[in-house]
Structures are given as C-alpha cells and as structure tokens.
C-alpha cells in the first residue's frame, strides 16, 4: 500500500496547471528539490532528476515538455530488493537549450542554486501555490491521518528552505524550520493548517481523509471523557457509601441505632440495605430531595464520630 504522502502526491499531480507562469514556478521548485546539473562537451549544461514516485516523474516530464525547450528522457531502475521502490531517472542530455531554461527558472546566475532569482517566479499568488506544490511533490512528506499531525518540506539548501518558509508565512501558515542530516526541514504541526495547505495545493481527497480521522478522534475523546466522568462519580458514591455504612455499624454496635430519631433511623436502615445507591436514589426511595438525604447521612456520620461511648 502506498504511504499517505505518496497518495497526496498522486493526487497533487492531477491538479491542473494551465498557466505558463505557474508551470514554471512548479517546475523550478521541483527541480530545486531533486535535480542536479551536468556539464557536457562545449560547457553545455544537462539536467538529471531522480524520484521514486512515478507520478512525480510524469509531472516533471510533462512540465519540461510544456516548456518546450528541451528533450527529456526517462529510464526506470527496478528495485533490487523487496520493499524498495523503483527509481525514475529523468535526463536532459547536455545541450545549448538547457542554459536558457535554467536561467528562466532562476537556477543560474551569480550564485548557482540560490533562490534570489525565484522572486520573479513568486510574484503572483497563483505561482506561489504552484511553487509550494512543486516543492511538496519534490521533497514533501505528511503523516498518515491517524498519526500526529505533521507535514514537512525537506530541502537540501538553507536558502531554498528559507524561501519556502517565507512563502508559507506570507500566506499565514505557521511554520518552523530545523535541520537534520545535511537537510533543512520546513514543517507544520497544526492539523487544521495542514488541511488548509493541502486543500490549497489541490488535494481535496487527502483533506477528506484527514477530516474523517479528526472527527473519529473527537468522538473517541468525547466518549473517553464521559466514561472517565462516570467512573469518577461512581467512585465518589462508593467511597462515600462505605464510610456511611461503617458509621451506621458503629452506631448499631453501640446500641444507638434504635435511639435515633425515626427519620434518621429510617435513612440508616435504607443505606445498609442499599450500599450502592446514589444520594438521589436514596432520596427518591424516601420521597425526599437529594439534599435532604445528604443532610440526614451527614448527621448520622457526625453522631457516630462524636458519641461519648466511642472507642477508637
């Protein structure tokens, strides 16, 4: 079964990107996540992109073809071991056309791989969404709906991670950044915000799955709260009753039970007969209020405590 992150990516690649501006923004982010440049004869540049996700490979291929300047080829390397995924290699052989493509995507210039050039790609809101989608497709991951909410973009350079963080912050998403194993992670931990982001990027089915899981979790918590509350009430009733029964036995052993006023004697006998009953139930059996029942039991307790003949 594919992971939830893979399912999200499979859904995201179906999001339509008709506008050229957005296609370039998405492609730029995708290539930043997983591409490397090669240098061929006459200093011509080439491009390699590797991914384990077939849908992502198709998306990069489609975007490169839409761009129209270069001719990509794909090869698949089959997984040699079980539980390992196939790898998809996209290769654009070194050619004079690669340089202008890289330049238009902001990947060349004074500082190769820097993201200062992405400002142009990120000017419009539509393009910023496409850029984030490309980044998620290239290096994003998200926990399955039953697990703790967590989504992250794994970038291999700080400037790129920082750009992602700025774009997300500009859209009011609460994000954090951390580093691990030479990579930078831009992460989100709020379930609702993650749903909003995935909806914006074009994965409504994934959002639905997250919603179902969230609702189930809420119902389960509610049931747990009710059960805990009932258990606590029951516990209180039982421990109060144990003390009352002890007090009544004390009065009885001292021969004081029969000397009680009739209403209190009646209550004492009823408590002995019904040790599990709540105050309301006792009150009901005697045709009095819960408060009156509580009052009589309190008096019985204090009589047992304070009687002169008491031996401790």
Contact residues for Zn ion, defined by CB under 5 A: 19, 21-22, 124, 126-127
Q: Which is nearer to Zn ion, 21 or 61 (CB)?
A: 21
**From CA 175, how far away is CA 28, in angstroms rounded?**
21
Nearest distance from C-beta of residue 51 to Zn ion, angstroms: 23
Nearest distance from C-beta of residue 32 to Zn ion, angstroms: 17
Q: Which is nearer to Zn ion, 104 or 280 (CB)?
A: 104
Q: Which helix (H) or strand (E) holds 56?
A: helix 54-67
Nearest distance from C-beta of residue 25 to Zn ion, angstroms: 6
Question: Which residues have a Cβ under 8 Å from the Cβ of 14 and sit 6 or more positions away?
Answer: 202
Q: How many CB atoms lie within 10 A of CB 62?
A: 15
* Measured CA distances, 200 to 128, 129, 145, 184, 193 (Å): 11, 7, 18, 23, 10
Q: Which is nearer to Zn ion, 22 or 279 (CB)?
A: 22
Nearest distance from C-beta of residue 50 to Zn ion, angstroms: 27
Q: Which is nearer to Zn ion, 166 or 183 (CB)?
A: 166
Q: Which is nearer to Zn ion, 29 or 37 (CB)?
A: 29
Find out whether 267 and 297 touch, Cβ atoms under 8 Å. yes
Q: Which is nearer to Zn ion, 17 or 241 (CB)?
A: 17
Q: Nearest CA to 137 among 25, 55, 20? A: 55
Tokens of 277: 């009953």
**From CA 111, how far away is CA 237, in angstroms rounded?**
74
* Measured CA distances, 145 to 18, 76, 132, 142, 208 (Å): 30, 31, 21, 9, 10
Nearest distance from C-beta of residue 124 to Zn ion, angstroms: 5
Nearest distance from C-beta of residue 73 to Zn ion, angstroms: 28
Tokens of 197: 């982001």
Q: Which is nearer to Zn ion, 17 or 250 (CB)?
A: 17
Find out whether 296 and 264 touch, Cβ atoms under 8 Å. yes
Find out whether 214 and 221 touch, Cβ atoms under 8 Å. no
Nearest distance from C-beta of residue 122 to Zn ion, angstroms: 10
**From CA 9, how far away is CA 140, in angstroms rounded?**
9
């Amino acid at each position: 079964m594919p992971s939830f992150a893979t399912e999200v990516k499979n859904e995201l690649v179906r999001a339509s990107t008709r506008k050229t501006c957005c296609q370039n923004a998405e492609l730029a982010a995708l290539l930043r996540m997983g591409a490397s440049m090669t240098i061929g004869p006459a200093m011509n540049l080439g491009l390699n992109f590797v991914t384990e996700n077939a849908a992502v490979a198709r998306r990069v291929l489609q975007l490169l073809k839409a761009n129209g300047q270069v001719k990509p080829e794909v090869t698949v390397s089959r997984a040699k071991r079980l539980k390992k995924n196939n790898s998809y290699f996209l290769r654009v052989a070194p050619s004079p056309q690669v340089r202008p493509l890289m330049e238009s995507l902001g990947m060349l210039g004074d500082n190769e791989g820097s993201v200062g050039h992405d400002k142009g790609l990120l000017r419009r809101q539509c393009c910023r969404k496409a850029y984030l989608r490309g980044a998620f497709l290239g290096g994003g991951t998200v926990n399955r709906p039953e697990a703790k909410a967590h989504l992250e973009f794994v970038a291999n350079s700080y400037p790129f991670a920082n750009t992602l963080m700025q774009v997300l912050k500009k859209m009011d998403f609460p994000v954090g950044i951390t580093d691990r194993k030479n990579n930078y992670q831009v992460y989100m931990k709020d379930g609702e915000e993650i749903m909003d982001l995935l909806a914006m990027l074009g994965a409504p089915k994934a959002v639905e799955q997250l919603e179902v899981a969230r609702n189930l979790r809420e119902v389960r918590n509610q049931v747990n709260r009710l059960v805990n509350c009932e258990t606590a009430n029951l516990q209180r009733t039982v421990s109060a009753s144990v003390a009352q029964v002890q007090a009544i036995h004390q009065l009885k052993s001292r021969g004081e039970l029969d000397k009680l006023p009739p209403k209190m004697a009646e209550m004492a006998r009823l408590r002995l007969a019904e040790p599990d009953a709540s105050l309301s139930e006792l009150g009901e059996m005697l045709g009095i209020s819960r408060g009156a029942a509580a009052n009589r039991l309190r008096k019985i307790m204090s009589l047992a405590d304070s009687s002169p003949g008491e031996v401790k």
